[in-house]
Amino acid sequence: MAAISQRWTRAVAIALGVGLVGGLTACAGAGEPAEVRFHLSKPEAIPYFRELVGEYNASQDEVRVVFDTSSNLQAGFLRGNPPDLGLLNYNMEMARFMERGALSDLSDMPEADRIRPEVQELVDQYATYPGRTSVLPYSVMAASVIYNKQIFEEQGVEVPRTYDELIEVCEALKAAGITPFYATFKDPWTIGQGWFDYTVGGNIDVAEFYDEMNELGTEVGPDSPVSFEKTLSEPVEQMTQLAANYTNPDAASRAYGDGNLAFAEGQAAMYLQGPWAFGEIAKTNPDLDLGTFPLPVTNDPDDLAVRVNIDLAAWIPEASTRKAEARDFLSYLFQQEVMDEYNAAFLGYGTTIEAAPVTDPRIVGMKEYYDAAKFYQGPSRAIPLTIPTDNYLQGIVTGSDAEETLAVMDADWARLAFRQ
């Protein structure tokens, strides 16, 4: 990959010109570098960051970063021996460490001042710890409708910006014998990530909804002012209508891999997946002309927004005995050119104020929404894993009663709040 190899030509200049390793207080014994354990959670990015670790280690002799991709985080924190620096997908499970004060304060680092406030708020939606900025977002993934530009052009249909326009596009495609959406309902997570998140996220204020749900706790139910059943019934009905009328007839038996192959072969015009699917689709058809647009679920174009998740975020545990050294490597990773290259290579969006704009034509359709902070975190990801949300949603799209299922989710939420 050209973007990765370009860093080698800059390694010496970075080490000499930026002076990232000055002022460390490592004391690992005479002539021995201080060892920093760096944990990464994204398997496909291991080669990228392994190269960065090698560059950093070669640029100085005071710190040696050890790459760790297999540690059990829960066990490490419980034993008081977590990695010194983590770069992980940030979600509700990871947020538990923050709310317990297990992650140190990074607010005094220059890198914290560079993060877009709207992006930092995505972290705070999961959890906060008083007086601390414990997690710094490194990369954001934006997801929306993937569409086949050639099919749209051949059928003379435009990217829809309202729900009525979406239905018109779907009807026109059906009339031409083309499946509007390829669905993979055999894999429950694909329903939660796409179908549920896009319809719900485009209809409600996700952060506000979960703030209210968390505040209600045990009181969530049929008589509460907000609930899954009361608040999400209409978006979920939209989801079921789209799923029932505009998908492949074998959707219930098709899995994620089937969807990537079928979409690559032109078996549908649209696909509700994230940018991680592009690489899989390209294995079959690397020349397929694809783009993205937010799923319109209202008739007001101003409501259009894209689903995001914090792809990678950095943190340093309180229990680390190498905080200064870990901060130094964090600064190395957060050099703007390094962050920009990661996002370009993995189709992510930048988290900093000065981040380079995305240029890949497959995801540039989401740029105007991301730049304007018209985004929401996936509502399915804000529900504790002990509630089998994706399985419930799979039941809904394959025939279960939606209101009854949402009422069960309300009961699960209240029961979980009681236990906590």
**pLDDT value of residue 29:** 53
State the Cα torsion 20-24-27-30 to the nearest 10°: 60
- CB-based contacts of 199: which residues, under 8 Å, 6+ apart? 235, 236, 238, 239, 242, 295, 297
Give the per-residue pLDDT at 378.
94
Q: Within 10 Å of residue 283's Cβ, how many Cβ atoms?
A: 10
- What are the average pLDDT values for consecutive 10-residue runs of the chain, which has 420 residues? 41 39 47 91 93 95 91 82 92 80 95 97 89 95 98 98 98 98 98 98 96 96 97 97 98 98 98 96 97 98 97 95 96 97 97 97 97 96 93 97 98 92
Task: Tell me the C-alpha distance between 363 and 293, whole Å.
Answer: 8
Q: What is the largest CA-CA distance in the chain?
A: 76
311 φ, ψ (degrees, to nearest 5): -60, -50
pLDDT at 31: 65
Q: Tell me the three-class secondary structure of 193-226, residue by residue.
A: HHHHHHHHHCCCCHHHHHHHHHHHHHHCCCCCCC
Nearest to 91 by CA among 125, 141, 114, 45: 125
Q: What is the DSSP letter of 139?
A: E
- Counting Cα atoms < 13 Å in the Cβ hemisphere of 172 gives 17
| C-alpha span between 304 and 110 (Å, rounded) | 33
Domains of the chain with CATH codes: 2-134+311-366 (3.40.190.10), 142-305+375-419 (3.40.190.10)
pLDDT of residue 392: 98
Q: What is the pLDDT of residue 30?
A: 53
Closest CA to 140 of 403, 370, 408: 370
